[in-house]
Amino acid sequence: MCQPEWRRARVQAQRLADLARLRRVRDRIDREYAQPLNVEALARDVNMSAGHLSRQFRAAYGESPYSYLMTRRIERATALLRRGDLSVTEVCFAVGCASLGTFTTRFTELVGMPPGAFRRQAAEAADQADAAGTTGGAGLSVTVEGMPACVAKQVTRPVRNREVPAAAQPLA
Amino acid sequence: MDITIHTSSLPHDDPDASLAFYRDVLGFEVRSDVGQGRMRWITVGPAGQPDTSILLAPPAADPGVTEDERRTITEMMAKGTYGWILLATPDLDATFEKVQAGDTEVVQEPIEQPYGIRDCAFRDPAGNLVRIQELR
């Protein structure tokens, strides 16, 4: 005898367990983005096939795990480039990208300028800020001063599918 | 006006698991524990700071929440996009080691952020993001 409400409860419990598994994958990407992660390994560790994980992840979070991973890497790259003491190639490898070409392409899509231009602009902004005796950062189109850090992190995070429109990209 | 931030709340989906995390892993004291089963309201807070509490509460307990809304909330909790809180400590590395040793899901190791702070992040058992930043 299987009561319909028992069945519904079982299905919902399974759905919540599946979502929690996806959450662990996403958290692992956040934590280990600088490692040579790939979707096959992520999927294997939660006993899913790569295709199934990608579909389920996209359904839950609106983008594929690969896209989420690259966004996370680019986000960290902007922070490292702003520091000014690392080259673009060093930053590329520091955030776990094995290919400078893929890194540059994705960076440009998300940030609106290539990493080299971003680094130069950050250095200029830092010089100007030093001259003016204030702190500042390039590439930040929003003021984050006074915000709780986790909120600042969210509002400055590059967002997949909210890339800078092509027309706004500088020609250089 | 003299207003303090007295209690803020985080949802739980397994009261005993959440209690174990906040009491045994974070070391908070338990200030009250009422209700039973899944309907439990547990007030916890850091020792020596009786003016600030976190209420661990069942999600969507308001009878005005519809079945669909309740499902959405529990799904958001499971996928980790619902509740979050920001804590702070003077010794981030020691805190991180202790919390990590408590078999907690780590979201971020201690890291220097570009906006001038250093922080780390964990999940509590209900999927809430617990971010801890360094006081300096």
Structural domains in chain B?
A: 7-134 (3.10.180.10)
pLDDT mean across residues, chain A? 84
Structure tokens at B23: 């009491």
CB contact under 8 A, A137 and B108: no
**What contacts A163, CB < 8 A, 6 or more positions away?**
A109, A110, A112
Residues A28 and A54 in one domain: yes
Asked whether the predicted pLDDT for residue A1 surpasses 60, the reply is no
CB contact under 8 A, B108 and A30: yes
Tell how strand B129-134 and strand B105-112 pair up: unpaired
SS3 for A148? coil
Same domain, yes or no: A55 and A92: no
Per-residue model confidence (pLDDT) at position A137: 45
Domain shared by A108 and A37, yes or no: no
Instruction: State whether A33 and A87 are in the same domain.
Output: no
Q: What is the mean pLDDT of residues B103-112?
A: 93
Higher-scoring residue by pLDDT: A39, A132: A39
Q: What is the ipTM of this complex?
A: 0.90
| Mean predicted confidence (pLDDT) in B87-109 | 95
A22–B contact, CB cutoff 8 A: yes
pLDDT of residue A136: 45
The answer to whether residues B83 and B11 touch, using CB atoms and an 8 Å cutoff, is yes
What pLDDT, on the 0 to 100 scale, is given for residue A156?
65
Please compute the mean of the pLDDT values over residues A85-107 and round it to a whole number: 95
User: Which domain, by its residues, includes A114?
Assistant: 72-164
In a domain, A170, yes or no: no
Task: Please name the amino acid found at residue A89.
Answer: T
Residue A93 lies in a domain: yes
Q: In this predicted structure, what is the pLDDT of residue A140?
A: 47
pLDDT (tens digit per residue) in B64-95: 999 999 999 999 999 999 999 999 999 999 99
- pLDDT band, residue A133 (cuts 50/70/90): low
Tell me what the mean pLDDT of segment A66-81 comes to: 94
Is residue B57 scored above 90 in pLDDT? yes
Given this model, what pLDDT does residue A44 score?
A: 92
> Does A56 reach chain B within 8 Å, measured CB to CB?
no
Q: What is the DSSP string of B56-93?
A: EE-TT-STTS-HHHHHHHHHHHHHT-S-EEEEEES-HH
Residues A87 and A49 in one domain: no
Higher-pLDDT residue of B103 and A95 is A95
Q: What is the pLDDT of residue A153?
A: 63
Claim to verify: residue A47 and residue A123 sit in the same structural domain: no
Separation of CA B18 from chain center: 8
Same domain, A160 and A129: yes
Rounded to an integer, the average pLDDT of A60-66 is 95
pLDDT at B14 > cutoff 90: yes
Q: Are residues A77 and A146 in the same domain?
A: yes
**Disruptive mutation site among A21, A30, A45 for chain B (greatest number of B CBs within 10 Å):** A30
Res. A138: pLDDT tops 50:
no
Look at B106 and A153 and tell me if their CB atoms are within 8 Å: no
Q: Is residue A172 part of a domain?
A: no
Q: How many distinct structural domains can be found in chain A?
A: 2
Are A21 and A52 found together in one domain?
yes
CATH number at residue A50: 1.10.10
Are A134 and A82 part of one and the same domain?
A: yes
Mean pLDDT of chain B, nearest integer: 96
Residue A38 has a pLDDT of 86
Residue with tokens 């130069």, as numbered in its chain: A120
Distance CA(B101)–CA(B22), nearest Å, equals: 14
Reply yes or no on whether the pLDDT at B28 is more than 90. Answer: yes
Q: Which of A44-48, A59-63, B27-31 has the lowest mean pLDDT?
A: A44-48
